[in-house]
Structure 1
Amino acid sequence: MLFTKIKNKESGVLLYGITPPKATTSTEKIKEIAEKTLNNLCSKDIDGLVVYDVQDESARTSEERPFPFASSLDPFEYASQYLQRLPIPKIIYRPAGKFTRDELSEWLQGLKMHGFYPIFVGLPTPDYVVKTSLNDAYKIWREQHQETSVIGAVTIPERHAILKDEDVRIIDKVNCGVSYFISQCIFNVDYTKRILDDLIIACENKKQALPTIIFTLTICGSVKTLHFMEWLGIHVPEDIKEELKVCSSPVSRSLEIAITIAKDLIQYCKERSIPFGFNIESVAIRKEEVDASLDLLSTISELLKVNGFRTGVKKHQLAE
């Protein structure tokens, strides 16, 4: 169970991340998309499904967004209404600041009823009027759900490269009850290792146990996707960027790069006794990229198994 693995700080947690369909999608099409997701994942060895909350981040930068923004379905509604047949925990993202205390409390109760787990994220723009602070949102969760749930948070390697305080942010959230952290998509391994090294020192100084760090990997299947990732703030090293721009199959090369990153991080965490896992993100709609993300998921599962972090492949029977 995901709950037990996180609570026990077991390495090898494996997640798959998706975004809900667009808000304008017809009900029949939503059902079709959900059915494909269910069929793709029922044979896969995963501990949980991450369902992101899609926000418009255009106001945080003057650069033009490579893909136009379109609102998506609420992730909790999508997961509870269309994905319940997949019998694994769902991890639902929510920007806490957009909601009142009562709304967040009601939302958390809904998650509990469905066996889902929350991740509170920040707001897309710094000038947004906050209805509930992140600290207050964590307090609501602790008062009502700490004994029966686990709560996660996001960590951003690129932010640490600039501000050098991600270790402080992580520890502050751990003190609020957070047990695990899902990273932004990783292409720059050095940035990620800097967080880990500084976090180890910070936890040793405070005599605290390390939280579980779940590394997000994704497929970059085109130059336009590459530009979008950079627009989102993901740092892609120059050598990788040039490879993806000129190679004949960006999807295949991206898959190879992600596997190399995974092998590096597995070894790094093993040597330092860091509890870790992976989240394979699939937010593209092109079949080639979706298929590659599923291949990556299977490969990472096998890598974790070979390294002693997973005991075997678990398949999930879809409920009727």
Structure 2
Amino acid sequence: MLAEKIRNRESGIILYGIVPPKKETAPERVEEIAKLQMERISNLPIDGLILYDIQDEASRTSEKRPFPFMETLDCFDYSRNQLKALDMPKIIYRAAGKYSKEALTGFMQEASDTMNMTVFVGASSKEQPVTMSMREAYALKQQVRPELLLGGVTIPERHRAKGDEHTRVLEKVQQGCSFFVSQGVYDLQASKDFLSDYYYHCLETNTPMVPVIFTLTPCGSIQTLNFMKWLGISIPRWLENELVHAHDILEESVNYSEYNWNELKAFADKLGIPVGCNIESVAVRKVEVEASIELLNRIAAKTA
């Protein structure tokens, strides 16, 4: 069970991430999409499914969003209604700042003890209005459902700029986080720098390390590449050049994603850091979704 792997701080956890259909989608189409997703996911060699809670991040950057923001169905409702037949643990994201205290409390009270975990996500910028701070959300969780497994978000690329991502992670651990899921990883060096500082800080302070789940995201077009950059995913200039000029950008990105995971896993294993992998597709195009499944199967075959 995923919960036990997290509690035991095991390495090699594999997750798959999806976004619910758009809120304006017709009910019959929602059911069709859910059926396709369940058929695609049901036999995957994964420990659990992530369902993202999408929020508008326009305040994070002045750059124009490559794709228009469209609100999605509530991921918790979608998981327990349309995806009810999908018998696997589900990690429900919650953009904490957009919920009232009552709404977040209700979600935590209704979440399953054994089949649900959650990840709280903060505001995309200081300018984004919120109903509660992350510190308040963490305190509420400890009060309402201390036994519910809680995860946090980590951004290894931020470590390069500020050098404190490892201490951010450990502060969140003190507030109840038992695992972390990263933003999409293309900058291998930044991720290794973060892991190294995380390891040695834990070693020096005699602090147990919790699992870090690295997210891998195939890129199938220049538009997807621009969207990933808009989301804040750091792509080294040399790698961006390779992708832009590749004969098949999707195949190239899948190969690099697999390489990055192999490098991160080997580095983490050498130090005994528990790491895992989350595969997603930020695009809904069938070819990119299928590429994410191919990447997952490649990684699972080597991680087993």
Superposition TM-score tier, normalisation by shorter sequence = over 0.9
AA partner of residue 11 (structure 1): S
CA distance in 2 between counterparts of 1:62 and 1:248 reads 32
Asked whether the equivalents of residues 17 and 283 of structure 1 are also in contact (C-alpha less than 8 Å), the reply is: no
CA distance in 1 between counterparts of 2:88 and 2:281 reads 17
Asked whether the equivalents of residues 14 and 48 of structure 1 are also in contact (C-alpha less than 8 Å), the reply is: yes
Q: TM-score, normalised on structure 2?
A: 0.96
Higher mean alpha-carbon deviation, 63-72 vs 2-11, is at: 63-72
Higher mean alpha-carbon deviation, 200-209 vs 178-187, is at: 200-209
Residue of structure 1 equivalent to 2:35: 35
Shift of 1:114: 8.1
Asked whether the equivalents of residues 16 and 282 of structure 1 are also in contact (C-alpha less than 8 Å), the reply is: no
1:223 aligns with 2:222: yes
Residue of structure 1 equivalent to 2:126: 126
**How many positions carry a matched residue from both structures?**
304
Residue of structure 2 equivalent to 1:189: 188
Question: For 1:122-150, what per-residue CA distance to the aligned partner results, in whole angstroms no more than 9, with x for missing partners?
Answer: 11332334322212222222233333x31
Q: Secondary structure at the match of 2:81?
A: helix
CA distance in 1 between counterparts of 2:240 and 2:154 reads 23
AA partner of residue 156 (structure 2): P
CA distance in 2 between counterparts of 1:280 and 1:294 reads 8
Residue of structure 2 equivalent to 1:18: 18
Shift of the 113–2 alpha-carbon distance from structure 1 to 2, 3 Å rule, reads closer
What aligned pairs does 1:58-73 form with structure 2 within 5 A after superposition? Answer: 58-73=58-73
AA partner of residue 162 (structure 1): A
- The runs of 5 or more residues in structure 1 that have no matched partner are 306-320
Residue of structure 1 equivalent to 2:261: 262
Residue of structure 2 equivalent to 1:143: 143
1:274 aligns with 2:273: yes
CA distance in 2 between counterparts of 1:93 and 1:263 reads 27
Residue of structure 1 equivalent to 2:172: 173
Shift of 1:205: 2.6
Q: TM-score, normalised on structure 1?
A: 0.92
CA distance in 2 between counterparts of 1:112 and 1:97 reads 22
CA RMSD of aligned residues (A): 1.4
1:109 aligns with 2:109: yes
Q: Percent identity?
A: 41
Q: Secondary structure at the match of 2:229?
A: helix
AA partner of residue 189 (structure 1): L
CA distance in 1 between counterparts of 2:113 and 2:265 reads 34
AA partner of residue 295 (structure 2): L
Residue of structure 2 equivalent to 1:54: 54
Higher mean alpha-carbon deviation, 98-107 vs 171-180, is at: 98-107
Shift of 1:113: 6.6
Shift of 1:237: 1.1
CA distance in 2 between counterparts of 1:128 and 1:228 reads 20
Higher relative contact order (CA 8 A, sep 6+): 1
CA distance in 2 between counterparts of 1:140 and 1:151 reads 12
Asked whether the equivalents of residues 48 and 91 of structure 1 are also in contact (C-alpha less than 8 Å), the reply is: yes
Shift of 1:100: 2.6
CA distance in 1 between counterparts of 2:190 and 2:77 reads 35
Q: Secondary structure at the match of 1:93?
A: strand
AA partner of residue 300 (structure 1): I
Asked whether the equivalents of residues 166 and 197 of structure 2 are also in contact (C-alpha less than 8 Å), the reply is: yes
1:248 aligns with 2:247: yes
CA distance in 2 between counterparts of 1:4 and 1:79 reads 21
CA distance in 2 between counterparts of 1:110 and 1:266 reads 35
Shift of 1:78: 1.4
AA partner of residue 249 (structure 2): P
CA distance in 2 between counterparts of 1:273 and 1:145 reads 30
AA partner of residue 185 (structure 1): G
Higher mean alpha-carbon deviation, 110-119 vs 151-160, is at: 110-119
1:238 aligns with 2:229: no
CA distance in 2 between counterparts of 1:292 and 1:5 reads 27
